[in-house]
Amino acid sequence: MSRIRNISVIAHIDHGKSTLSDRLLELTNTIATLGVHKQFLDKLKVEQERGITVKAVTCSMRYKHKGEEYMINLIDTPGHVDFRAEVIHSLKAGNGCLLLIDAAQGIQAQTVANFYLAFAENLKIIPVLNKIDLPAAEPGKVLEQLEQTFELDPVDALAISAKTGLGVGAILPAIIERVPPPTGSVDENFKCLLIDSWYDNYKGVILLVRVFGGTVQRGDRISSVHTGHKYEVSEVGLMHPDQSPVNRLCAGMVGYVVPSMKRSSESKIGDTFYHVGKPVQALPGFEDAKPMIYVGAFPLDTKEFKRLEDSINNLSLNDRSITVHRDTSTALGQGWRLGFLGSLHLSVFQDRLKDEYGAEVIITTPTVPYQIEYRDGTFGTISNPSEFPDVVTHSSKVLDIREPVVEATMIFPSDYLGSVIELCEACFLLKEQTFLSSSRVLLKYIIPLAQLVEDFFGKLKSSTKGYATLDYEEAGYIPADVLRLSLLINGKSVDALASIVHRSQAERRGREWVKKMRGLVDRQLYEVVIQAAVGNKVVARESISAKRKDVTAKCYGGDVSRKMKLLNKQKEGKKRMRSIGNVQISQEVCTWKPGFL
């Protein structure tokens, strides 16, 4: 036990976590030297493309220090706010963390969020300034920020370049000397914390665990505290960095366990496992992941329903946080209602669906869960605009509607303080304003989740010339004056395109919407009327006069090949169309585009 160190790496996105992890794996000869762009720890294609770590990847390294061999378990945490629960449990698995900060950018929103999570877990924090090779690096300034903001002593900080390797050699000795070894004993009852899980086509669900007491080996029968399900262990091992089986995992270690588990939804991050018949107390801090964003998903081509369903089921096998339910829309037909942790989670899912299956899919505007209190004393949660009370039901049956809010932390150069306050003060509640230094400021606001999802980050970025960073955490529910905005095409309501909006914004949103639609609906042989309405009241209207779009009109019958080319082009354009009633509309109208990243 005294030769084990469990440590996680936390950082704001892009500050160099994956690059550093790879460098450490090389230093300990866990992997051979890699090319510049082949990061080992960011395995998934989307992760490599976006340069973000979506799933935490942990690995074990052997390292000799002063003649003794140590095992260092390095836990790479997801860098994005949607995956906060995973970050917390990665932290709980260790006794220390490397707090990595880009020496050119300084402290950012997720640096602050991650620092406080690590601080709350009582971890030994080792500050590491990265990218000191950059000409723009200002290590002195960043050390000052660390001292002012977190009361971290600058002498404890290491300065490195994960890219060139400069200074990286000092990290492993620092981990061994400063981070305490794990506690717990092999003589206790077996008890482990579930940190992560993934799906393997041959082995089923694989659990990544930190053992807090006792041992576990092949053939053991284990059970989950939170689900009560029982499993038989067929393999245990270390991530070195790929799965390497061992005879047993002992207290203090981080490794994987293969149970006979078929569905990812049974693996709940933060859950405790124990030997059947030898119950233990649950490890603290467990919370079931709950979706905060819901969308409708429909195949563009209804013949693709089965194939798309297989793709969605396959992807959700590997992502325990997605919820999937069948849903039917009168306008778009059979589809699904999907729940996600946040907008990044959703956009990563959209990317994977496209990448791995090439599926063309309509994703409707995200909706957050609203809590409804009815006059008869009952409560409900609604996350689908088509189930939202209409104006009549609203006034007769609904007492109160509440919407989820988040506490958003923003950090940016103080030059932009005026414009950010202007963006936020009308609708949001200010909680905190702190100067991190003479030129950087931190603001905290309470913001409705729905507005955050809509494109708050984009607006914040443009108010600060791209300099602001954002982090948020759930902050409960507040009363909300919201209603359903419906979209009608030739008098027919398109249920899948309805959305829930604040009363004060209904007219503006309605106008924006019909305008956008007008540009995307094909001209027909008859007039097309597009309306946005709240209940029976039309708040915006556009019409498209009858005229067939004749793409060959300009050719004067002359050039035949050009005529063919244009006709084919029109056909291709049609491919991405979906008919609603007797009107063809473009996929673009229906598909929500992520505004968060």
**Partner from Mg ion, ligand GDP, none binding residue 373, C-beta < 5-8 Å depending on class:** none
| Touching ligand GDP, residues 37-76 (CB under 6 A) | 51-53
Is residue 187 annotated as involved in ligand binding? no
Among 72, 81, 162, 195, binds ligand GDP (CB under 6 A): 162
Is residue 132 annotated as involved in ligand binding? yes
Collect all residues with Cβ–Cβ distance below 8 Å to 105 and sequence separation of at least 6: 12, 15
Is residue 30 annotated as involved in ligand binding? no
Collect all residues with Cβ–Cβ distance below 8 Å to 509 and sequence separation of at least 6: 485, 499, 501, 532
Among 18, 95, 264, 384, binds Mg ion (CB under 5 A): 18
Q: What's the closest the beta carbon of residue 250 comes to ligand GDP, in angstroms?
A: 30
Beta strands in 300-450 (DSSP E): 323-329, 333-340, 361-363, 370-374, 379-382, 398-413, 429-435, 440-448
User: What whole-number distance in Å separates Cα of residue 265 and Cα of residue 316?
Assistant: 9
Q: With respect to ligand GDP, which residue has the nearer C-beta, 11 or 590?
A: 11
Task: Check binding of 105 to Mg ion (CB under 5 A).
Answer: no
Among 55, 131, 275, 578, binds ligand GDP (CB under 6 A): 131
Which part of the chain contacts ligand GDP (CB under 6 A), choosing from 13-21, 478-486, 573-581, 582-590? 13-21
Which part of the chain contacts ligand GDP (CB under 6 A), choosing from 15-23, 286-294, 381-389, 411-419? 15-23
Q: With respect to ligand GDP, which residue has the nearer C-beta, 18 or 73?
A: 18
Task: Check binding of 350 to Mg ion (CB under 5 A).
Answer: no
- What residue type is 141 in one-letter code? K
Is residue 318 annotated as involved in ligand binding? no
Task: Check binding of 21 to Mg ion (CB under 5 A).
Answer: no
Is residue 226 annotated as involved in ligand binding? no
Task: Check binding of 114 to Mg ion (CB under 5 A).
Answer: no
Among 6, 8, 19, 499, binds ligand GDP (CB under 6 A): 19
Which SS3 state, helix, strand or coil, does residue 205 take?
A: strand
Among 3, 27, 119, 133, binds ligand GDP (CB under 6 A): 133
Q: What's the closest the beta carbon of residue 14 comes to ligand GDP, in angstroms?
A: 4
Strand partners, 412: 441
Q: What's the closest the beta carbon of residue 168 comes to ligand GDP, in angstroms?
A: 9
Task: Check binding of 77 to ligand GDP (CB under 6 A).
Answer: no
Is residue 16 annotated as involved in ligand binding? yes
Q: Provide the angle, in degrees to the nearest 10, between the axes of the packed helices 305-317 and 343-357.
A: 120
- Taking Cα atoms as reference points, which of 253, 252, 243 lies closest to residue 206? 243
State the Cα torsion 78-354-597-118 to the nearest 10°: -10
Residues of the chain by 3-state class (helix, strand, coil), percent to 5: 30, 35, 35
Is residue 389 annotated as involved in ligand binding? no
Q: What's the closest the beta carbon of residue 18 comes to Mg ion, in angstroms?
A: 3
Q: Dihedrals φ, ψ of 102, to 5°?
A: -65, 120
**Partner from ligand GDP, Mg ion, none binding residue 241, C-beta < 5-8 Å depending on class:** none
| Touching ligand GDP, residues 220-259 (CB under 6 A) | none
Q: What's the closest the beta carbon of residue 80 comes to Mg ion, in angstroms?
A: 10
Is residue 111 annotated as involved in ligand binding? no
Peptide bond into 241 cis (omega under 30): yes
Site string for Mg ion, 41-80 (x = CB under 5 A): ------------x---------------------------
Q: What's the closest the beta carbon of residue 402 comes to ligand GDP, in angstroms?
A: 35
Site string for ligand GDP, 490-509 (x = CB under 6 A): --------------------
Task: Check binding of 111 to ligand GDP (CB under 6 A).
Answer: no
CB under 8 A, 24+ apart: contacts of 420-425: 420/460, 420/463, 420/464, 420/468, 422/463, 423/459, 423/460, 423/463
Which SS3 state, helix, strand or coil, does residue 531 take?
A: strand
Which part of the chain contacts Mg ion (CB under 5 A), choosing from 12-20, 120-128, 264-272, 340-348? 12-20
Which part of the chain contacts ligand GDP (CB under 6 A), choosing from 129-137, 229-237, 391-399, 488-496? 129-137
Q: Dihedrals φ, ψ of 440, to 5°?
A: -125, 140
- What residue type is 396 in one-letter code? S
Note whether 296 and 335 are within 8 A (CB).
yes
Q: Could you tell me the sign of the dihedral formed by the alpha carbons of 241, 289, 447, 392, in that order?
A: positive
Task: Check binding of 367 to Mg ion (CB under 5 A).
Answer: no
Task: Output b/e per residue, 430-456; b: 16+ Cβ within 10 A.
Answer: eeeeeebeeebbbbbbbbbbbbbbbbb
Quick count: other Cβ atoms within 10 Å of Cβ 470?
21
DSSP letter at 220 equals -
State the Cα torsion 554-556-562-566 to the nearest 10°: 40
Task: Check binding of 168 to ligand GDP (CB under 6 A).
Answer: no
Beta strands in 149-259 (DSSP E): 158-159, 191-200, 204-213, 215-217, 221-224, 230-232, 235-239, 243-245, 248-250, 254-258
Which part of the chain contacts ligand GDP (CB under 6 A), choosing from 83-91, 131-139, 332-340, 363-371? 131-139
Q: With respect to ligand GDP, which residue has the nearer C-beta, 13 or 344?
A: 13
* Number of residues in the chain: 597
Is residue 579 annotated as involved in ligand binding? no
Among 114, 161, 409, 591, binds ligand GDP (CB under 6 A): 161
**Residues in the annotated binding site for GTP:** 11-18, 76-80, 130-133
**Residues in the annotated binding site:** 11-18, 76-80, 130-133
Binding site for Mg ion (CB under 5 A): 18, 53
Binding site for ligand GDP (CB under 6 A): 11, 13-19, 51-53, 79, 130-131, 133-134, 161-163
